[in-house]
Chain A
């Protein structure tokens, strides 16, 4: 039996064109019991290879092709765990000292780390071929001898590959001669680069991408033929019929390779505890301290729950893990970094007591098994939300420092070829011109909802490409063939893995593009599959907003806000939520949320938890939103799927809304254990496990049958679980988010100025553009002041005005202005006021003309001359002069003038030079100012563009957004405004939702699929729209169901729209 022991997958990045699973599929199709994967300089694809092989009962041998300094590649196979560790270390060493994507090993490194590894002499790129080509057979023999010295004679195999190529056969003859002389075993391989012959085309395209060539010019870089596909044993046996021992040896060698990835030897690091104390004892003490501060000392339920959890933690030997996460939390607290655990960790009372999470799982009756169970046999998953940006980076660096460079790393993120990237790169290789490729890329729909007709071939046709043309057809086929193949390795945004000091012996490490970061070669899923514990340090924009807002409140209001102790049940917060007045509030600001809030009318914290969880694809697809709202409003009675499920579903009126509920349903209705229930969730939520899901469904039905739940009820329960599992929120996660949502709502209602500044300083984030946030704040009474170089900082700030606090826009909103320039302006301004634009230019000499012009255009320089106010065009006129450096003679003259002005600021010199007294230019009109504001800052603090045309709008019978709530349901109305959001959610069957903003508020518009199809261009491209349609007012949810859509010319300014969420 022939076994393929030298194969590359697409994880060799542009040197292979099949996924590891496809290679395993090929083996399985011919009942081949084993295969080896040797990707280039890494084990990137090995977890997927291993998992796919396990499923098919195939042995997955691991190895890698390792590049040497001499230019060849050692094909190395792992025989034992020691070999695997050596391979990982070898790759880590070479990677960490080189730039990303490069690196090679030195011969002396090989000999030091060869134990447990088997070396083949390789194919085209192997050491033998290299030596033969360079120096002839004698040197080739010497090269093989060296390999024997490095790896041991018994661990070197002379490799033969046959791809029907003369040169290769000549090399094979030499190799056989060498093997006979040195008495080494021969080994047949096919140097596989793809599973199927047709994938050679993809490999050729990849070769072009690797060498930055086109197919037309790649010439001999391309494959000579299509023979590097996986070949069945019979074919290989025929090919090597003259050398049968080469085939037999593959089976013998395969039997020698005992290592499998399930035997990784990964150990989680131990947390250093004081002498004489075990980790568990230390953890118990920390939990006990936390329990006292978090719970009432007599809370028996909490005590019991914590006791149960600690027992399980001890049993599973997870104390170290909890302590390590607790340590990160402790660091953040000490450094005043906001941090909060999210996800299933919030189900744990231990996490709550340790301060990892902020939701009381006992009080909320959350299911601990969702977080941790004995059956599952995997590490718990704790995700921590941190303020995005520098603060999160500090926490990450702390973990690096604490566990060392080889003890902690980020998980990778495998970037794959998707629609646009595939079309662009393949098009380039096929010599299509850039304009066509741009057009094609722009046609790949960004909507979440994919029109069934919006296929790749339609996009090709729309881009003007004729699919009848063979070259275009080939382009199209290749685009489809490369979908989902890995392209390169990125870095996951927050996933960190830690190990007992030796992470590099578990998985190779690589440098990340970001300095100071190290990345493992596996992605998050792979790490989880391989049982490596990870902590997600996620950046959450809203956490940064909260943190910034607290600082601003401290500075300007003189108040200290503790987010852990916000006043509960603040009436202003609930009033705003019930009115859906939630622009900027975390998780409840989207259009869908806004259309639900007036019906759900949250009255307490738990209502917010429900609100966060209900607008999710799970409940929406499962058609659970409507029944829940009906029952909540008393319009229909609460009804459980089965009487036995009442304790689980009573809280949500008989409607399952949270993942925990489905777990409990499975436990009650089908007698699942906690672990089995969690396995059910994972199976249903995990794309790769469809077969597993089927198995579990059978088990679920069997369990229900045993409990006497049959027929329709059984079907209903199965269906509600199935539709929900993939997209639902865990209750604990919803509760964690609800806490943040409440905090953001509270700050917005009580400290609008600080909250708005915080929001604007952390853009981009959230659902709305800065322009909408500003307009919303203004409608709530906040005075927003324009950018002014004499007052604005880089960030938005607050200023005291007679009526209270006003918000000053920061210079970060001036498009094209560099941060360092803005900071220098602020520094110079603090030293001494600017007396003219020339003065500013002279004191901030790095400022470019375009930056000065951008400032002038948005009016930021209007206030520079203290005595006489400029208009924007005056400033623009001066900017042109200031930006042109005068000759040396005039420069001396001007410097003298400036010095005189500095010595005597009251002197009556004309600061703008001898000829400039103002400008000959006319001031900007209101329309021009509006255009300049949107062009230069993306927003305006002046009147809303619609307000200039209100009288005209009235004459056309157009209603203001604020009026809509007072109009009876079913009335034919006309509304108009700036489109601030366009949505086509995946769950809405092609309906498009628009938010139209005018000076009074936001109007919601629903566009039916047919109207959208007809008016596609108008809806998608026009910034201002006039909509005519029937007003729908259902339980205070007001929207207009459009019957006609017209573009409206309001201004040349183009407000941003946040589309395609």
Chain B
């Protein structure tokens, strides 16, 4: 449930607002043997978005997800549901409902909302379980000295959540399962005293126990609709019919869970940040700071026996001022979010060598420098298990992947990032199309991935065909002017050179990708040209007419 007014912190306030506050007579907290609190955030996706934009709380809100143009609604607020919007309808359909706000689902906001949920838990107890994205469970044992009663903790958790922009259900019970079930089943705050779990859960629908589809179907056939009805079934006979799942669910329905918490590691993400008093502009001082952060990051990774698969760099840049004169920077600002620089360094193998990471980062920054002085640095490592590999004794030595990566980064620095790697031909008729792929470690892979080229095959098999030995492509193609006679080229002009066409072969016509916006349609000609120069140079060139751009170009020359 979302967009409701959450029960206030104090019991009296709950009563004033007529909202639910389930309470039983409780023994003094320090006497209670065990207690667990579960926090469940209903309609989590919507709450995550509303948290960042509180004005939406009073509006009918629908969240969409998917690749445009096929976005569909994945979550709706209570008001939107009342308006008749259902999950699964398309964005276009949802837009037809008046007064409904449509937003995209935000995974980053869900992630931060989840992080906030964990923070709420950790603010009370170090012993928490990260059950699901929208649910956590806290072990409250040992907190008797800090809080007078468990209800105070529940209230405290609800208040903290409200401060973090979340409106959860909070349930406290003597075991984990009951706390989880109660948080899912009851809205607001629920405190179940030990020994009365069964009594309390009996009114909840049996679905809160999350039975398997098959069991749910059987229970439905049996007419078992509530946990109470389920709990009354004889357990022995139940076990004969529903097996271990039935016994487990039966125990849950009676509120007699016994599982222990799976304690969440507090440091699950590896991020380091640094705010700078004075913005840094030069690479060297920046490298010094980056080095420090990378050292910390690598130390943490090492301590956890992990390594980095990628490093995300995020700089907050100093805002531009009106007196900025560099037009290039202005353009930069228009294109990207103001004052942010982000880059991701993908690593070919897991790395935790901070010096190597620093070298790579420096090369990246040289290649793609930030557009303004930096005032905040954030580094995050995507952690994976480190590489464990033993080379064959008699195999030739390959360069160490780490060193190779640095070398490639250096080359990229010179020739441009997209121009390093192994060229590969994509599966298309589009002329001269190729991709640059990262170097592959294994030669066999390269062999198998190389596409079969019909021309080469034909050339190999048909020796009588006089296909020139090689072709040098002009990248990008050179614009040209051609004079045609009866549809065939007779004269050409390009790059300031003029020539007569001695022989022409073509047109070789291709077109495709008609379902995309970047379709193509070209007529190629192979032309033997005699240039108007004192030496009357001759050459064999490939020209093409781009029908969509309506222009002639030189694709390259046959050597």
Contacts and interface: CB of A to CB of B under 8 A. Distances in A.
A433 B233 contact: no
Interface string A134-147: 11110000000000
Interface residues of B, number: 50
Interface centre among A136, A220, A463, A466 (most CB of B within 10 A): A220
Given A464-B89, A469-B69, A928 B515 contact: no
Interface in A125-154: 132-137
Interface stretch (B341-349, B453-461, B529-537): B453-461
A469 B515 CA distance: 11
B88 interface: yes
Contact of B458 (A133, A200, A873): A133
A560 interface: no
Given A167-B455, A880-B218, A133 B70 contact: no
Interface of B: 66, 69-70, 72, 88-93, 218, 221-224, 232-234, 236-237, 240-243, 426-429, 454-455, 457-458, 461-465, 505-512, 514-517, 523
Contacts of B463: 136
B429 A876 contact: no
Contact of A136 (B462, B509, B516): B462
Contacts of B428: 219-220
Contacts of B221: 853, 856-857, 873, 876
Contact of A880 (B241, B426, B511): B241
Nearest to B514: A201
Contacts of B510: 224-225
Interface in A84-98: none
Given A137-B462, A165-B508, A436 B241 contact: no
A924 interface: yes
Interface residues of A, number: 60
B90 A920 contact: no
Contacts of B512: 222-225
Lowest 8 CB-CB distances: which A-B pairs, in order?
A: A464-B90, A219-B427, A164-B509, A880-B241, A464-B92, A225-B509, A469-B69, A464-B93
Interface centre among B232, B426, B429, B523 (most CB of A within 10 A): B429
Contacts of B505: 169
A516 interface: no
B240 A164 contact: no
A277 B232 CA distance: 88
Contact of B92 (A136, A169, A466, A921): A466
B511 A226 contact: yes
A215 interface: yes
Nearest to B241: A880
Contacts of B89: 464
Nearest to B426: A219
Given A164-B507, A220-B427, A464-B93, A880 B69 contact: no
Contacts of B508: 164-166
Contacts of B93: 464
B92 to A, nearest CB: 4
Contact of B222 (A204, A432, A921): A921
Interface string A159-192: 0000111110110011000000000000000000
Interface string A192-205: 00000000110010
Contacts of B240: 880-881, 884, 915
A270 interface: no
27 contacts: A133-B458, A135-B461, A136-B463, A137-B462, A137-B464, A167-B455, A200-B514, A201-B514, A204-B514, A217-B427, A219-B427, A220-B428, A222-B429, A224-B509, A225-B509, A225-B510, A227-B509, A433-B66, A435-B72, A464-B89, A474-B515, A857-B221, A877-B237, A915-B237, A920-B237, A921-B224, A928-B223
B69 A884 contact: no
A357 B297 CA distance: 93
A887 to B, nearest CB: 12
Contacts of B234: 915, 920
A470 interface: yes
A471 interface: yes
Contacts of B222: 873, 876-877, 921
A474 B516 CA distance: 9
A472 B514 contact: no
A907 interface: no
Interface string A987-1004: 000000000000000000
Interface centre among A164, A166, A215 (most CB of B within 10 A): A166
A430 B70 CA distance: 13
B303 to A, nearest CB: 44
A922 interface: yes
Contacts of B514: 200-201, 204, 474
Given A133-B457, A164-B507, 20 more contacts: A133-B461, A137-B462, A163-B509, A165-B508, A166-B508, A167-B454, A167-B458, A170-B462, A174-B462, A219-B426, A220-B429, A222-B512, A471-B69, A471-B516, A474-B515, A873-B221, A873-B222, A880-B241, A881-B241, A884-B241
Contact of B455 (A166, A881, A916): A166
A872 B121 CA distance: 49
A226 B232 CA distance: 73
A223 B506 CA distance: 18
A465 interface: yes
Nearest to A238: B487
A135 B90 CA distance: 56
A921 B66 CA distance: 45
A330 B461 CA distance: 67
B511 A225 contact: yes
Given A226-B511, A920-B234, A472 B243 contact: no
Interface string A415-457: 0000000000000001011011001000000000000000000
A903 to B, nearest CB: 26
Interface string A850-887: 00010011000000000000000100110011001000
A433 B70 contact: yes
A475 to B, nearest CB: 9
A474 B222 CA distance: 52
A204 B426 CA distance: 18
Contact of B517 (A164, A169, A470): A470
A773 B236 CA distance: 45
A873 B222 CA distance: 6
A204 B240 CA distance: 58
Nearest to A878: B241
A130 B457 CA distance: 13
A214 to B, nearest CB: 10
Nearest to A433: B70
Nearest to B526: A166
Contacts of A857: 221
